[in-house]
């Protein structure tokens, strides 16, 4: 199993990174946005970045697998440096939309009924 720094290297090189947004308006009690980042290649690597509108903080989980099923050989919270690397991998236009939602939420305490599409 490659070490986690190999995963960081993939994101820093911007190698075939695919971005998917989930939970734009979640039903749970803490409003947040999840960004799933997947690196394609011999090793399937996925990171989920989650932003909480209430705590105004990001957290991340990194998963790696050498199989195509839903199981993962490695699953751990991102360290501070890994989280910084992952956030740098998010395209500026995607981050700008997140900041739009954040500003609206800070002002109104909820999501816009028809907010910016991410």
- How far apart CA 28 and CA 89 sit, in angstroms, is 27
- How far apart CA 12 and CA 14 sit, in angstroms, is 5
Q: Return the CA Rg of the chain.
A: 15
Q: Model-level pTM greater than 0.85?
A: no
- Using pLDDT thresholds of 50, 70 and 90, give the confidence band for residue 71: low
Instruction: Please check whether residue 84 is in contact with residue 72, taking contact to mean a CB–CB distance below 8 angstroms.
Output: no
pLDDT value of position 47: 74
| DSSP annotation of 14 | T
pLDDT value of position 42: 55
Instruction: Please check whether residue 104 is in contact with residue 112, taking contact to mean a CB–CB distance below 8 angstroms.
Output: yes
Averaged confidence pLDDT in the chain: 64
- How far apart CA 69 and CA 21 sit, in angstroms, is 21
**Every domain of the chain and the residues it spans:** 4-108
With a pLDDT cut of 90, the percent of the chain lying above it is 0
Q: Name the one residue in this structure whose structure tokens are 């599409």.
A: 117
pLDDT higher for 55 or 22? 55
How much is the average pLDDT of 24-42? 58
Which range is least confidently modeled, 2-6, 20-24, 54-58?
2-6
């Amino acid at each position: 199993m490659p070490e986690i720094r190999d995963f960081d290297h993939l994101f820093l090189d911007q190698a075939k990174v695919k971005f998917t947004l989930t939970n734009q308006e979640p039903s749970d009690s803490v409003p947040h946005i999840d960004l799933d980042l997947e690196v394609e290649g011999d090793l399937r690597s996925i990171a989920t970045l989650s932003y909480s509108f209430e705590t105004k903080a990001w957290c991340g989980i990194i998963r790696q697998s050498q199989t195509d099923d839903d199981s993962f050989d490695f699953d751990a919270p991102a360290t501070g440096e890994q989280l910084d690397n992952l956030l740098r991998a998010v395209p500026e236009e995607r981050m700008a939309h997140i900041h739009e939602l954040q500003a609206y939420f800070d002002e109104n305490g909820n999501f816009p009924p028809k907010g910016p599409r991410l």
